[in-house]
A = this chain, B = another copy of it.
Amino acid sequence: MSRLPGCPLCDGIGGVLVARTPHLRVIRAVEDAAFPAFYRVVWDDHVPEFSQLSPTQRQHCMDAVVLVEEALRRHLRPHKVNLAALGNSVPHLHWHVIARHPWDSHFPAPVWSAAQRQAPADALQAVAGALPALEHELAQAIGRLADLHPSL
């Protein structure tokens, strides 16, 4: 595996480990209480740009992103799912997959803009309560994904 010493996504998991394949991991971000359903698909190797993956690696990566998005849609019925691979501060390929609701602190603005309101505690709690079942199902789906690309 290609690692860069000092990179936080090479040196650590980066959040709560939800699932993994031999090439990537799905983690739940824990640094922002306003977004309990904030997941990341992290490519294990230290690769900065999505276009640096091979076509098969890209497909494996986006298959995982789609599984996370589908799990969010099925369990949380969000108004929208946001996907982003930015990496300006941590240039190690990771996809943000975030469930967005009209009541959340930033909607309709991106989560990286200024907060517009405080999210209601009961709505946040309802999302958090749905995560164990969501993550259980997601771990199974990602596990099946690991068998899909044996040539990877």
A→B interface (CB under 8 Å):
48-51, 58-59, 62, 65-66, 69-70, 73, 79-89, 91, 100, 107-110, 112-114
Contact = CB atoms under 8 A, between A and B. Distances in A.
A81 B49 contact: yes
Contact of A51 (B73, B89, B110, B112): B73
A85 B82 contact: yes
B79 A88 contact: yes
Nearest to A88: B108
A59 B113 CA distance: 30
Contacts of A70: 51
Nearest to A84: B84
Q: Shortest 3 CB-CB distances between A and B: which pairs? A: A88-B108, A84-B84, A110-B112
28 contacts: A48-B80, A49-B69, A49-B73, A50-B65, A50-B81, A51-B66, A51-B69, A51-B73, A51-B81, A58-B62, A58-B66, A62-B62, A79-B88, A80-B86, A80-B91, A82-B87, A83-B84, A83-B86, A84-B85, A84-B110, A86-B110, A88-B100, A88-B107, A88-B110, A112-B112, A113-B113, A113-B114, A114-B114
